[in-house]
Chains A and B, each alone.
Chain A
Amino acid sequence: MEFVRRHPIFAALSALFVLAIGTLVGAAVIWSAFSEQIKAILDDQFYFSVILSLVLFGLIMGAVAYSILLERKISAWVQDRYGPNRVGPYGVLQPIADGLKFLLKEDVIPANVDKSLFLVAPWMIFIVGLVGFAVIPWGGAFRWPWMDADAPPLVAQVASVDIGLLYILAVSSMGVYGVVLGGWSSNNKYSFYGAMRAAAQMLSYEIPLGMAVLVAILSTGMLRLEQMTEYQAQHGWLVMYHPIAALILFITALAEANRMPFDLAESEQELIGGYHTEYSAMKLAMFFLAEYAHMITSSALIVCLYFGGTHVPGWHWLNTSESAAAMLARMGVMGAKVFLFICLYMLVRWTLPRFRYDQLMRLAWKSLVPLTMALVVIQVLIVYFDAWRWWALIGNAALLLVGAVFSVASGRRITGRQHSLRRAQGELMAYR
C-alpha cells in the first residue's frame, strides 16, 4: 500500500490495464454474439462511412486538443522553455485540464450583441473546419479479412465524390463566414475590424490558393483526391514538378487558417483579440478548435495535392495492397505527413513576426497572384502540347529567374511605409 501511495502512477496504470482488459473482453463477447450483423454493417460502404466519420471526428478532436499542447510545447522549446509540464507526466493531461477549464468558465454574452448570430458564429466556423475532412482520402480502397477476394472493395474515406477538391475549396472558403459573423455580431469595433481584415485577407488569398490547386488539377487531370494521390504514386510527387506552387499553396493555407504571419484578424497588439474579443468559455475554445481543425484539413489537402498523400517512395505495394492492415498503414502514413506539416505550421508561427496589412496585400496581389498565373500558363502549355512532364520544373526555375531579373531591372523598390515617408519628407521640404 505504501508503494502505491508513493507512486500513484502505478495505481493509475493498473486501473487503465483493468479497463483495457475489460474493454477487450467486452468487445470479444459482443463480436462472438453479433459477428454476422457487425460484419454486414462493416461491409456496407454507407454504414462504414458513417462509422468512419464518427471515428474520425473523435480522432480529430483528440488531435486538435493535443495539437494545442504541441503548439505550446514547440513555442516553449523555440524559446528555451519547457512548456506545460505540471498536469501529468510531461504535461500530457494538459488538454483535458484546458477543456475542463473552458467548460466550467462563465459564458458571458455581452448585453448589446446580436444574440442569434453571436451564438451561431462559433458553430459556423467549427463545423466548416470539420466538414472538409469528408473527402480527404485517409486510407484508400481495402477489403476486410472476411470478405471475398472479388467483392468490391470499401473505401476508407467518408465521401468519395467526383468533385472532392471543389467541395474542399467551397467549404473552406465558408470559414471566413464564421469570422465575419462573430466580429459583426459582437457589436465591438475591434471585433469588427478583425472581421473585416479577415474578409479582405481571405478574398485576396483565395485567388492564389485556387490557382495553386488548379496547377495540381491540370497536372493530374483529375478532381478526385484519391485519384490525384494515385497519379502521384505512379508519376512522382507533384512537389517535384511544381515546387513553387506547393510553396504558394502552403503560404495561402497559412493565410486561410489565419495562422501567424497572417493572423491580422486577431492581432492582440492592435485589436485585443480581433473577432473573438467578446467571446468567452467554450465559445472561445471553439474558435481555437476550429483554427486547429482548419490547420489539419489544409495540411491534409497539401499532402494529398503535392506530397503524395498515402504514398511512400519505394513502397508502392503499400498503395496497391487492398488488405485492412495496409489501409491502417496508409492512414498512419497520411497522419505522419499531416503531423509534419502541422509542426511546420507551428514552427513558422513561432519564427515569423506578423505582416503589416499593406505588406500582406502586396504579397498576395503583387507576387503570389502573378506567380500562380504564370504557373498555370506553364502547366496549360504542357498539357496542351502533351509535353515532357519535367518541363514544369524547368518552367519553375525559369520563372524564378525571370522574377529575379525583373526585380533587379526594376531597381530597388521601397516598401509602402518608406514611400509615404519619402512623400512626407518632400512635403516637409516644400513646406519650409
Chain B
Amino acid sequence: MSAASDIRGFDEREQSVAAPRLPEGGAPRNWRETDVIRVDQPELTMSERLYLPQIFGGMKTTLRHMFRKKLRDETVVQYPEQKRVLRKENYRGVHRLNRDEQGRVACVACFMCETACPAHCIHIEGADSPWPDREKYPIRFDIDELRCIYCGMCEEACPVDAIELTPEYHLVGASREEMIFDKEKLLMVFDRTKDDKPRKSPPITGYP
C-alpha cells in the first residue's frame, strides 16, 4: 500500500463526519462585549516586507555573537570537568528519606506524600511502629525515580519533614528496576547528602 492511498482513505473518513451546524438564530451568547479584548495584528512595515534589511539585522547579531569568544568562555560550562553551582536549599533532585536523631527512619507512614504525588510514583506500606513515640512506620517505601516529575509536592505534604529532595542530579541506572528506589536506598541518599544539605528541623507534632 502506498502513502497516497492511505492519505486518500484518511480524507474520506474526514468527510464522512458531518460538520457541526450552528443552531438557528445563532448560538446563545454567554459573554459580554466588555469581555472581548481585540488585539490588532501588527502590520508589516516597509523594511519588514522587503525582508532584506531585517535579514541583515539578524545576521549582524549572529555575527557579533560568533566572534565574541570572551562571552563564550564565560557562558560555557564544560560539564564533566566543571559543574554549575547549584542552589542547594531548593534544588529538586533525587529524593531522600531522612533519619531522626537516633538514626531511625523519620517517616511515620501517614501516606500524605503518596496522596499528594501527582505522578503516583510513591508506594508506602505501613506497619505498627516498634517505637513508643509514634504509631506507624514504613516497612516499605518505594519511589519510582523514572516516573517522578520532581515537583516537590511530597516534600511539602510531609508533616514530619521526612522526605526531602536533594541537590543530587546524577541519576543514572542500567535498568528500570534499579531506578525504583526502596527504603534502604533512600536512606542511603540521606547518609550521602546530609552534610551537603542538613535535614530541616522537623515540626513539633505534640505526639507523645
Binding site for B on A (CB under 8 A): 74, 77-82, 112, 114, 183-189, 191-192, 247, 347-348, 350-352, 363, 404, 407-408, 412-415, 417-418, 421, 425, 431-432
Contact = CB atoms under 8 A, between A and B. Distances in A.
Chain B, interface SS category: helix
A418 B48 CA distance: 15
23 contacts: A74-B66, A78-B65, A80-B76, A81-B72, A82-B72, A82-B78, A114-B2, A187-B1, A187-B6, A188-B3, A189-B3, A189-B6, A189-B7, A347-B63, A348-B55, A348-B59, A407-B46, A407-B50, A413-B49, A414-B41, A414-B44, A418-B43, A431-B26
Given A187-B1, A192-B7, A347-B62, A80 B72 contact: yes
Interface of B: 1-4, 6-7, 10, 26, 29, 38, 41, 43-44, 46, 49-52, 55, 58-59, 61-63, 65-68, 71-72, 75-76, 78
A77 B72 contact: yes
Nearest to A188: B3
B2 A414 contact: no
Contact of A186 (B3, B55, B76): B3
Contacts of B67: 77
Given A81-B72, A347-B63, 17 more contacts: A74-B66, A80-B72, A80-B75, A82-B72, A114-B2, A184-B3, A185-B3, A189-B3, A191-B3, A192-B4, A351-B58, A351-B61, A351-B62, A414-B43, A414-B44, A431-B26, A432-B26
A93 B186 CA distance: 42
B3 A347 contact: no
B62 to A, nearest CB: 5
Given A114-B2, A188-B3, A80 B71 contact: yes
Chain A, interface SS category: helix
B129 to A, nearest CB: 52
A254 B145 CA distance: 46
Contact of A408 (B1, B2, B46, B62): B46
A186 B78 CA distance: 40
Contacts of A185: 2-3
A192 B55 CA distance: 31
Most buried by A among B10, B26, B43, B68: B43
A75 to B, nearest CB: 10
B124 to A, nearest CB: 41
A421 B41 contact: yes
Nearest to B36: A428
A270 to B, nearest CB: 16
B75 to A, nearest CB: 5
Contacts of B10: 189
Contacts, number: 79
B65 A77 contact: yes
A396 to B, nearest CB: 14
B1 A112 contact: yes
Nearest to B51: A363
Contacts of B76: 80-82
A170 to B, nearest CB: 27
A160 to B, nearest CB: 37
B72 A347 contact: no
Contacts of B44: 412, 414-415
B10 to A, nearest CB: 7
Nearest to A344: B59
A184 B7 CA distance: 11
B59 A351 contact: yes
B28 to A, nearest CB: 12
B144 to A, nearest CB: 29
Contacts of A189: 3, 6-7, 10
A187 B72 contact: no
Contacts of B50: 407
B59 A79 contact: no
Contact of A412 (B2, B29, B43, B58): B43
B43 to A, nearest CB: 5
A192 B3 contact: yes
A413 B46 CA distance: 10
Contact of B3 (A187, A407, A412, A417): A187
B100 to A, nearest CB: 46
Contacts of A79: 65
A183 B58 contact: no
Contacts of A425: 38
Contacts of A432: 26, 29
Contact of A78 (B26, B46, B62): B62
A418 B6 contact: no
Contacts of A192: 3-4, 7
Nearest to A193: B7
B4 A80 contact: no
Question: What 6 A-B pairs are tightest by C-beta distance, nearest first?
Answer: A192-B3, A77-B66, A351-B58, A351-B62, A78-B62, A418-B41
B198 to A, nearest CB: 36
A171 B66 CA distance: 35
A344 to B, nearest CB: 9
Contact of B59 (A183, A188, A347, A431): A347
B26 A80 contact: no
Contacts of A417: 41
A191 B63 CA distance: 34
Contacts of B52: 247
B68 A80 contact: yes
